Structure formats: structure tokens, C-alpha cells
């Protein structure tokens, strides 16, 4: 049990370090303009059109690092610091989110799987903590309940794991296009690659944290079963 808490502590520290590094990299590369002067919006629209996609809108959304692609209404949502900026960071983020739009248009398998899990995970996330808490309290009288909670949490873990290839592939598509389209060059392409690499690390840490938590809950359930 103590090993689990040590593991949680390590993951929390790594998560904090990765998040801090990502923000540092974004801030640094946000001060490096791309040669062609294209804004994040320009980059996004060009990548979409270069891939034959004309039914996806590029819109601005509030916040920092709130960029995302919404397959429901087919919108690439770029944060204010990306939408109107002509920096390397903005180009990388905009291209990454368009990478998801390209995945959607090409019916990329892992993205389809992640999208199909969204309603289930939304339901699971709402109730899982309550079910697990009740399961822990009633582990001796109603041991099945905690396993129901573990099953719900396992769905969120699967979602985190499936997200990894989706994000990595979107970054790969983005970097390839940025290079071939001439948006980045030999002087700044590695910067775009570095920014997206650290963004990917946040998803890796999240998946590891979810797996560790799942193992922890299973350990609690097995311990309760042995006591009963």
C-alpha cells in the first residue's frame, strides 16, 4: 500500500514538472515568429484546405492551452494566444488540432474508438468516485459494489490509453505538413517538434496516473476480499 502512495507521489511530481515545462516551452516558442507571418488561424485553414477539408471551421476560444478539435460540430477551436499569433508555438498547436480534423476525415481508427467512448466515459466520470467510495465502505457486506466502481474507472483508463496514439498521430501529421508546406524551416522546425513533444508527455503522464490508480483500487478490492 505504501508503494502505491510513493508511486502516486512520483506521478504527481512528474505531472507537475511536465506541465511546467510545457508552459515554459510554449512561452518560449510563442516569441519566435514564423517566416511567412501566418497566424494560427491562417495555418489551421491552410492545413485543412491542403487536406481537402472545407467543412471545418476555425474559431477562437478563451483561455490558455484550451485548443481542441470538436468532431461534433466540426470546429478547430484555437485559444486566443494561438488564433491570432504568428509564432512557431501557434503554428504547431494549430496544425496539431487540424491533425485531429484530418483523422476525423480519414476515419482514423483510434479516434473513432475514442469518440465512441466519450458518452460512456462521461457517465463513468460522473459516478465512479461515488460508487468506489460506497464500495470501500461496504466492502465487507457488499463486495461486488467496489468491482462495479473499478469497472467504471477502467473505462476512463482505457480512454486515457486510447488517447495516446490519437495525440501522437495528430502531432506526426502536423509536423509532416508543417515541413512539407514550408510553414517551418530548418531553423524552427525542431522548436515546433519540441513543443508538441512536451504536449504529448502530458497525455502519457495522465495515462500512467490512471493505470496506477486503477491498480490501487484493484489492490483495495482484493485486500477486502481476503479479509472477508
The pLDDT tens digits along the chain (228 residues) read 567 778 788 888 999 999 999 999 999 999 999 988 899 999 999 999 999 999 999 999 998 889 999 999 999 999 998 999 999 999 999 999 999 999 999 999 999 999 999 999 999 999 999 999 998 888 888 889 999 999 999 999 999 999 999 999 999 999 999 999 999 999 999 999 999 999 999 999 999 999 999 999 998 888 766 555
3-state SS of the chain: helix, strand, coil percent to 5?
A: 75, 5, 20
Among 35, 44, 38, residue whose Cα is nearest residue 79: 44
Q: Which contacts qualify for 7-15: CB closer than 8 Å, 24 or more apart?
A: 7/212, 8/209, 8/212, 8/213, 8/216, 11/205, 11/208, 11/209, 11/212, 12/209, 14/205, 15/202, 15/205, 15/206, 15/209
What is the spatial distance between Cα 70 and Cα 59, in angstroms, rounded to a whole number? Answer: 11
Per-residue model confidence (pLDDT) at position 7: 79
Q: Quick one: pLDDT at residue 75?
A: 97
Annotation says 97 is catalytic: yes
Confidence at residue 5, expressed as pLDDT on a 0 to 100 scale: 77
- Greatest distance between any 2 Cα atoms in the chain: 68
First to last CA, the chain: 18
pLDDT value at residue 105 = 96
Q: What is the pTM of this model?
A: 0.89
List residues bridging with 69 in a β-sheet.
76
Distance from C-alpha of 51 to C-alpha of 181, rounded to nearest angstrom: 11
pLDDT of 1: 58
Predicted confidence at residue 227, as pLDDT, reads 57
Cβ neighbours of residue 28 under 8 Å, at least 6 residues apart? 89
For 139, residues 6+ apart whose C-beta sits below 8 A from its C-beta are 145, 146, 220, 221, 224, 228
Task: Choose the catalytic residue: 45, 80, 97, 167.
Answer: 97
Amino acid at each position: 500500500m505504501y508503494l502505491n502512495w510513493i508511486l502516486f507521489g512520483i506521478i504527481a511530481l512528474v505531472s507537475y514538472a511536465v506541465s511546467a515545462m510545457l508552459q515554459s516551452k510554449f512561452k518560449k516558442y510563442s516569441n519566435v515568429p514564423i517566416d511567412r507571418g501566418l497566424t494560427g488561424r491562417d495555418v489551421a485553414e491552410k492545413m485543412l484546405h491542403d487536406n481537402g477539408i472545407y467543412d471545418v471551421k476555425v474559431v477562437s476560444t478563451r483561455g490558455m492551452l484550451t485548443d481542441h478539435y470538436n468532431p461534433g460540430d466540426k470546429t478547430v477551436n484555437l485559444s486566443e494566444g494561438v488564433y491570432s499569433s504568428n509564432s512557431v508555438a501557434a503554428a504547431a498547436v494549430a496544425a496539431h488540432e487540424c491533425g485531429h480534423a484530418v483523422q476525423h476525415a480519414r476515419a482514423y481508427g483510434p479516434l473513432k474508438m475514442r469518440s465512441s467512448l466519450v458518452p460512456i466515459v462521461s457517465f463513468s466520470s460522473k459516478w465512479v468516485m461515488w460508487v468506489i467510495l460506497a464500495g470501500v465502505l461496504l466492502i465487507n457486506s457488499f463486495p461486488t459494489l467496489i468491482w462495479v466502481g473499478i469497472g467504471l474507472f477502467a473505462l476512463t483508463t482505457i480512454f486515457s490509453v486510447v488517447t495516446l496514439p490519437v495525440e501522437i498521430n495528430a502531432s506526426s501529421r502536423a509536423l509532416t505538413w508543417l515541413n512539407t508546406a514550408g510553414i517551418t524551416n530548418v531553423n524552427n522546425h525542431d522548436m515546433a517538434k519540441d513543443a508538441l513533444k512536451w504536449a504529448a508527455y502530458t497525455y502519457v503522464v495522465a495515462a500512467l496516473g490512471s493505470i496506477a490508480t486503477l491498480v490501487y483500487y484493484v489492490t483495495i478490492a482484493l485486500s477486502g476480499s481476503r479479509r472477508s
